[in-house]
Amino acid sequence: MRASWLLILASLLIAGCTTVPPRGTGDLGVVIERDAGRVQLVNTTTRSSLGGVAGLGDLSHASVVFARDGRYAYVFGRDGGLSKVDLLLQKIERRVMQAGNSIGGAISQDGRFVAAQNYAPGGVRIFDAATLAPVADIPALYGDGQLSKVVGLADAPGNRFVFSLFDAGEIWVADLADPAHPVITKFPAGRQPYDGLITPDGRHYIAGLFGEDGLALLDLWHPEKGVRRILAGYGRGEQKLPVYKMPHLRGWAVAGTRAYLPAIGRHEVLVVDTQTWQETGRIPLIGQPVFAIARPDGRQVWVSFAFPDNQHVQVIDTESGQVAQTLEPGRAVLHLEFTPRGETAWVSSRDDGKVTVYDTATLKPLVELPAASPSGIFFTHRAGRTGF
Amino acid sequence: MDTFPVVRRPRTRDGGSTPSRLRAALFLTLMSSLAGWAEDIRPERKADIIRLVRNDCGSCHGGKLKGGLGPALRPESLRDKAPESLRETILHGRAGGAMPPWSDFLSAEEADWIVEQLMKGFPNAR
């Protein structure tokens, strides 16, 4: 009798120590549940939820990068919280408050540093990816000592970070060869860069400009050539349509030899040749595009929209350059993410409280996962991609 | 927390002290309150507006309205602003800026109500 009690006690103790059967993380991901300050962990093989990790603070406009081992998610909260979440043990491993108002982050090429981009205090802060100890602080100083909001932070080959200064109209490249003393090179970009992307090969950085018709392109192989304007005058001087949500740029916009870039104040994506950086076309859409994301094979580009058209997702067939289908996944679609090889796309609908998993071949929904006001969806294969 | 004051349009500015200016001001105030009474905002609509402000205004001003690419909309940051000009900005946007016009989605009374709520601390979505 006594022995069996001990046995039960022992097994309870063992169960209490969190043990996880050995597994990889290549098919895991997180869904931001913004109002709950929580991430839901998902499995993209079984297309199911694995649980959640709460206590992450204000997750409106939260974003995530992954450690290169795919085990840890770095969650950047709007309130300046930076949390390192263990996807296997499903817990917060470390957490720091690094700023007052933050908008996202990046991880260095070698995986040793995590960088956060901040609105307040405007600048970039760099942390040790293992411990989250501060490594360097880069205030975005311009004019007579003002601090600019920072947007469009991306990692670049050579352990560099590239980012844009919204208020200063500049692109900065920070070289972390000596991590505690980053060397900054500054480039004039144009009026009000609102976001930026680095191409999947890590060569070109592009900042979208809110304040003018066109985008700023920096060739990181030849930074001495400076920033070049591309798609100048794409609005043709026409009155801009109102923009109820700023588009987001990222390397996913590149499909094959073309990039699909949301126009500002126009209901279209601009198609640009990534060899010549000339416009090759534009595709009319039903609203202001926010995300234009290529399926990994580049055959489709899925587009989400700003209010009041955000119940739609349009799927562009890149071969014909036409919208193949308009989907209605739910109210307030905020984000979508492809599985690593693109057989499914996961789409979040904030106001319907669900994530819908689509078969990208048939464009039919396969399953819906309940989620509390879901926004961003992030899968671990981002860990191996430049610019994510 | 969940009780909202009756909609009231901002008081008309009384710029002078002459009786005719005063009469005009009183008349306008009366007209505005009548308009406010006529278009009282129903509680369900208020809940929708609260969600709209938190979510859609929040995409630039932050879900907690502490600012983003757009400025903070907390009471302390709006203290020195004229409610009328805030209402106009909500309805018609800012020329040359990023603020879009919301008059297709909100009436003047609803914009006034938003300004009033913002100035005293915006309610949370339920």
The pLDDT tens digits for A178-231 are 999 999 999 999 999 999 999 999 999 999 999 999 999 999 999 999 999 999
Does the pLDDT value for residue A327 go beyond 80? yes
Instruction: List the strands of the sheet with A38-43, edge to edge.
Output: A48-53, A38-43, A28-33, A374-379
> What is the secondary structure of B61-94 as a DSSP string?
H-TTSS-SSSPP-SHHHHTTS-HHHHHHHHHH--
Q: Which helix (H) or strand (E) holds A289?
A: strand A289-294
What is the nearest CA distance from A115 to chain B, expressed in angstroms? 19
ipTM of the complex: 0.86
Chain B residues whose beta carbon lies within 8 Å of the beta carbon of residue A34: 63
Between B108-120 and B19-38, two packed helices, what is the crossing angle to 10 degrees? 100
User: Quick check: A49 and A28 in contact, CB under 8 A?
Assistant: no
pLDDT at A237: 82
**Where are the alpha helices (H) located in chain A, listed in sequence order?**
2-16
Chain A residues whose beta carbon lies within 8 Å of the beta carbon of residue B62: 60-61, 78, 101
> What is the secondary structure of A22-59 as a DSSP string?
----TTEEEEEEGGGTEEEEEETTTTEEEEEE------
Whole-prediction pTM: 0.89
Q: Mark A8-47 as b/e (b = at least 16 C-beta within 10 Å).
A: eeeeeeeeeeeeeeeeebebbbbbbbbbbbbbbbbebeeb
Q: Given an 8 Å threshold on Cβ–Cβ distance, is A245 in contact with B56? A: yes
Q: Which helix (H) or strand (E) holds B46?
A: helix B43-52
User: Quick check: A290 and A247 in contact, CB under 8 A?
Assistant: yes
Residue range B14-19: mean pLDDT, rounded: 40
Contacts of A374 (CB under 8 A, 6+ apart): A31, A32, A33, A34, A40, A334, A335, A348, A349, A350, A353, A354, A355
Does the pLDDT value for residue B25 go beyond 60? no
What is the nearest CA distance from A242 to chain B, expressed in angstroms? 5
User: Quick check: B47 and B126 in contact, CB under 8 A?
Assistant: yes
Q: Given an 8 Å threshold on Cβ–Cβ distance, is B59 in contact with A245? A: yes
The pLDDT tens digits for A123-140 are 999 999 999 999 999 999
Confidence of residue B96 (pLDDT cuts 50, 70, 90): confident
Does the pLDDT value for residue B16 go beyond 50? no
The pLDDT tens digits for A333-342 are 999 999 999 9
pLDDT at B97: 87
Strand partners, A63: A76
Tokens of A101: 């108002």
Residue range A378-383: mean pLDDT, rounded: 98
End-to-end CA distance of chain A: 57
The pLDDT tens digits for A146-167 are 999 999 999 999 999 999 999 9
Largest pairwise CA distance in chain A: 87
Chain B residues whose beta carbon lies within 8 Å of the beta carbon of residue A118: none
Confidence of residue B23 (pLDDT cuts 50, 70, 90): low
